[in-house]
Amino acid sequence: MAQVAFIGLGRMGHGMAGRYLDAGFTVAVWNRSKAKAEDLIARGARWAFSPADAADGADAIVTMVADDEASRAVWLGNDGAAKTANDGALAIECSTVSYGHALDLARASRTKSGLYR
């Protein structure tokens, strides 16, 4: 079964990560607060210690964070998902971000680990 990294477990992200678990996917989760992940971990999700850890080995990386700044950090920061993403991994940005940030992220991601190839 495909491996999914899910980064950002607010109200929407938590529910979405749970649906991946329900569908039988292997799911790694990361959130600034581990407490929001506890029930998902109890259901079989793997706690990741950073976005990069979550993305390592994932076929799809899904982010659901608050804004441009948070999105930039979880994708492109020192421990960002792009650092360890597999070549050809599907990058799914569900965060509330600006159009300009989405374009910047797409450009930056083309030079990182093969995202968007």
- As a whole number of angstroms, the distance between CA 113 and CA 86 comes to 6
**Confidence class for position 115, pLDDT limits 50, 70, 90:** low
Indicate whether 85 belongs to any domain.
yes
Indicate whether 115 belongs to any domain.
no
Place of tokens 């083309």: 110
Q: Which pTM value belongs to this model? A: 0.92
The pair of structure tokens assigned to 76 is: 């492109």
Indicate whether 65 belongs to any domain.
yes
Q: Which domain holds residue 61?
A: 3-109
Indicate whether 117 belongs to any domain.
no
Indicate whether 9 belongs to any domain.
yes
- As a whole number of angstroms, the distance between CA 81 and CA 83 comes to 5
Indicate whether 61 belongs to any domain.
yes
Indicate whether 78 belongs to any domain.
yes
Average pLDDT over the chain, rounded to an integer = 92
Indicate whether 32 belongs to any domain.
yes
The CATH number given to whatever domain includes residue 42 is 3.40.50.720
**Confidence class for position 112, pLDDT limits 50, 70, 90:** low
Total number of domains constituting the chain? 1
Question: What are 55-78's pLDDT values in tens digits?
Answer: 999 999 999 999 999 999 999 999
